[in-house]
Amino acid sequence: MSEIESPDDGAEPIATMTLPLDQWHRARGGRMVEFAGYWMPVQYEGIVAEHLWTRESAGLFDVSHMGQLYVAGEGVEPALEAVLPIDLSTLKSYAPRYSLLLDDNGGILDDLMVTRWNTGFYLVVNGATKWDDIAHLRENLPDEVTMTHLEDSALLALQGPKAVDALARIAEGDVALTDLTFMKGGTFKIAGIDAWISRSGYTGEDGFEISIPAENAAQIADLICQQPEVKPIGLGARDSLRLEAGLPLYGHDLSPETTPVSADLTFAINKRRKAEGGFPGAQRILAELTDGAPTRRVGLALEGRQAAREGAEVYTGNQKVGVLTSGGFSPSLNHPIAMGYVDVAQAAPGTALEIDVRGKRLPARVVSMPFVPHRYHR
Amino acid sequence: MPRYFTKDHEWIDVEDDVGTVGITDYAQGQLGDITYVDLPAAGQWVKQGDAASVVDSVKAASDVYAPVGGEVTEANAALEDAPELVNTQAESGGWLYRIRLSDPGELGGLMDEAAYKAYVAEL
C-alpha cells in the first residue's frame, strides 16, 4: 500500500523548523508533518471529526507558519499601492482586507490580508511564500518604508459558530469582542497578554484570528482549549474546510500562472485601481477585466464517492478543458468536491464535465462556490 | 487459517486456494478516514504487486497492492455504502476482495503475524 498523492508539498531541502507550539501539538497527540518548511499537526483525532467539530462548535488552528509583517514609514501608502491592487484611501483602521501580491505580468505571487494599524500596515502572508514575499517587498518598497517581520508573534485561528462564545469569555478590550463584525479587528487582552484579534478566517465560519507573542502562545492556546466549545484542529481539516468554503489555497489554486480575473478574485482589485491602474500587471489585468480571461476557477461537484484531486484533468468528451487545483471528499456534504481551472466556455454553473482519475472518467458538474454556505457575522 | 502480511501493509488470509485480502489496522490508522474504495471486479486477473485496489481517504488516495497473483473471485460489496468499515474493521469486516491464488508459492515471500508486528514496531 502506498500513498499516491500527498497534500503536503511544502517540504524544503533545508532542515524543517519548529513553531512556538510544536511541543504543545505533540503533547496533545497531533500527528506532525512537514508543511511550508515547518513541523505542523495534520490531525489530532481525525480529519473528519475535527472538520465536523469546527462546523458545529469551535476549532483552534495554529497558523504561526504564516508571515506576519509590519510595513510603515514615510510614503508607505503609495508604496503599498504600487505593489498591491488595493485602494488604501477606503481602508479604515483595524479592518483587514484581502489583497494580492502580483507580478509584472499580472500573475499571483501570493494572497494576503492587509490591515491599517495606527501609522503602518499589518500584513499576513502565506507561510510557504513568506520568504519570497519579503524579498519581493524589500526590492519593491522604497528605502523610507521599513518592513518588520514579526517573527516573535504566533498566530492562532479560532473558527466555528461557538468561537465567539469561547473567546468572548477570555478576551477583554475597549470594545466587546462580540461587537466586532466580519473583517473587523481590535486590540484585546487574553490573560493579561496583548492580542490583536480580527473577526476573520479561512473556514467559511464565524471566527477569529489572534496574533499573540510567541512566548505566550502555549499559555493562550491552553486557555482557549480549556473552553468547552474548543478542540485543537489540524491542517487536514483546515484544508477540507477551506475547500468547502470555496477559498483558494496559494500554491495550488493560485500561482504566478493565474491572474485575479482567471482566479475569480476581481473583488481584490479595488474600484479606484480598476479605473486608474498603476499596480503590477495592470495592463493585462485591466484588459482581462474588459475582455475576460481564457480560463476561470470554478467549483466542481462529483457524483459518487470517489474523489478527484489536484492535477486531475477535466474533459468534455475527448476534449481536455481544464485541470483540478484542489479536490477531496467533503465531510459536510458527504460527496467529493473539487476546484480547478476550466475554459470559460465550460465555466457556467450546471455545465456537465468529466474528470479523469487514473483512466476512469468521473462525472461532475460545475457549481457555484462556496460549496457550503459562509456563516460570517456581518 | 494462516494470515500473511506484506511490507506495504496488506494482509491475506488463505483457505485452500482462495485468499481474502485487506489492509492492516496500522495502515488504516495511517490513512485516516476512508471515504471510498476502488475494488477489482470478479473475474479480473492480477499479478502479485499489482495495484488492484485504491483506498481513498480524506487526505489522499493510496494504492493497495495484490499480495499474491490470481483471479479475483469477489469484491466486498459492503464497502460500497460503508467504506468506513476499512477503518473500523480493517482486519475483518473491512476486507477488500477474494482471490484464487495462481501460485501459492508466492506466499513464501510474505511475513507471518509475528514478523509483521516486529516490522511495524520498527516504523
Per-residue pLDDT of A57-98, as tens digits, reads 999 999 999 999 999 999 999 999 999 999 999 999 999 999
How many CB atoms lie under 10 A from the CB of residue A271?
10
Nearest to A2 among B8, B38, B59 (CB): B8
Q: Are A299 and A373 in contact (CB under 8 A)?
A: no
Contact flag A1-B8 (C-beta cutoff 8 Å): yes
pLDDT grade for A8, boundaries at 50, 70 and 90: low
Percent of chain A with pLDDT over 70: 97
Chain B nearest CA to A236, separation (Å): 7
- Residue B83, chain A, CB below 8 Å: the answer is yes
- Rounded CA gap, A103 and A132, in Å? 12
Chain A residue closest to B24 (CA)? Answer: A1
Contacts with B23 from chain A: Cβ below 8 Å = 1
Residues from chain A that touch B39, judged by Cβ atoms under 8 A, are none
For chain A, give the percent of residues with pLDDT over 90. Answer: 95
- Contact assignment for A3 to B62 by CB distance below 8 Å: yes
**B58 and chain A in contact, CB less than 8 A:** yes
Q: Tell me the C-alpha distance between B24 and B9, whole Å.
A: 6
Q: Is residue B61 less than 8 Å (CB to CB) from chain A?
A: yes
Nearest C-alpha of chain B: how many angstroms from A349?
Answer: 25
Edge to edge, what strands does the sheet with A171-173 contain?
Answer: A171-173, A185-190, A193-198, A207-213, A153-159, A58-62, A230-232
The answer to whether the Cβ–Cβ distance between A4 and B62 falls below 8 Å is yes
CA closest to A331 among chain B residues = B58
Is B60–A5 a contact, with Cβ atoms under 8 angstroms apart?
yes
Whether the upstream peptide bond of residue A370 has omega within 30° of 0, thus cis, is yes
CA A309 to chain centre: 19
Burial call A178-204: b when 16+ CB within 10 Å, e when fewer? eebebbbbbebebeeeebbbbbbbbbb
Residues 6+ apart with CB under 8 A from A294: A262, A343, A344
Question: What angle (nearest 5°) sits at the alpha carbon of residue A110, between those of residues A105 and A112?
Answer: 130
Quote the minimal CA–CA distance from A323 to chain B in Å: 18
On whether any CB of chain B is under 8 Å from the CB of A6, the answer is yes
pLDDT beyond 80 at A157: yes
Kindly list the residues from chain A whose CB atom is less than 8 angstroms away from the CB atom of residue B83. Answer: 305
Helix (H) or strand (E) holding A145: strand A145-149
Does residue A7 carry a pLDDT above 80? Answer: no
**A309:B27 CB<8 A:** no
pLDDT grade for A266, boundaries at 50, 70 and 90? very high
3-class SS of residue A322: strand
Q: Do A236 and B23 touch (CB under 8 A)?
A: no
Q: What is the pLDDT of residues A271-316, one digit of tens each?
A: 999 999 999 999 999 999 999 999 999 999 999 999 999 999 999 9
Q: In what order do the strands lie in the sheet with B34-38?
A: A2-3, B61-65, B51-57, B34-38
Q: How far is CA B118 from CA A69, A312, B23, B121, in A?
A: 49, 38, 17, 5
pLDDT confidence of residue A13: 59
Average pLDDT over chain A, rounded to an integer: 96
What cell was used for B15? 483457505
The C-alpha of B17 sits at a distance from chain A's nearest C-alpha, in angstroms, of 23
- Closest partner residue to A329 (CB to CB) among B9, B23, B56 is B56
Residue of B nearest to A334 (CA): B35
Query: In the beta sheet, which residues pair with residue A181?
Result: none
A139: CB partners within 8 A, 6+ apart: none
Q: Which three cell numbers stand for residue A339?
A: 476546484
Contact A1 B55 (CB under 8 A): yes
Put simply, the answer to whether B63 touches A240 (Cβ < 8 Å) is no
Residue B59 is predicted with a pLDDT of 84
For chain B, give every domain's residue range: 3-106
For the stretch A317-363, pLDDT in tens is 999 999 999 999 999 999 999 999 999 999 999 999 999 999 999 99
Name the residue among A360, A305, A363, A358 with its Cα closest to residue A330: A305
Answer whether B97 touches A (CB < 8 Å): no
Rg (CA), chain A: 20
Find which of B11, B33, B55, B120 to mutate to test the A interface (most A CBs within 10 Å of its CB).
Answer: B33
Residues from chain B contacting residue A46 (CB–CB below 8 Å): 32-33
Least confident of A11-25, B4-18, B88-102: A11-25
- Do A5 and B58 lie within an 8 Å CB cutoff? no
> Looking at the DSSP assignment, which residues form a beta bridge with residue B72?
B99
**Domain B3-106 architecture:** Beta Barrel (2.40)
Contact: A1, B62; criterion CB under 8 Å: yes
Q: Give the gap in angstroms from C-alpha A317 to the nearest C-alpha of chain B.
A: 23
Domains (range + CATH), chain A: 22-63+152-244 (3.30.1360.120), 294-378 (2.40.30.110)
Q: Cβ of A46 under 8 Å from any chain B Cβ?
A: yes
Closest-CA residue of A relative to B10 is A1
The three-state secondary structure class of B31 is: helix
Q: List Cα–Cα distances, A271 to A98, A184, A267, A276, in angstroms.
A: 14, 20, 8, 9
pLDDT of A4: 64
Whole-angstrom CA distances from B28 to A304, A306, B10 are 22, 17, 10
**Tens-place pLDDT, residues A88-101:** 999 999 999 999 99
Checking if the pLDDT of A52 tops 80, the result is yes
Instruction: Write out residues 323-342 of A within 8 Å (CB-CB) of B.
Output: 328-329, 331, 336
What is this structure's pTM? 0.94
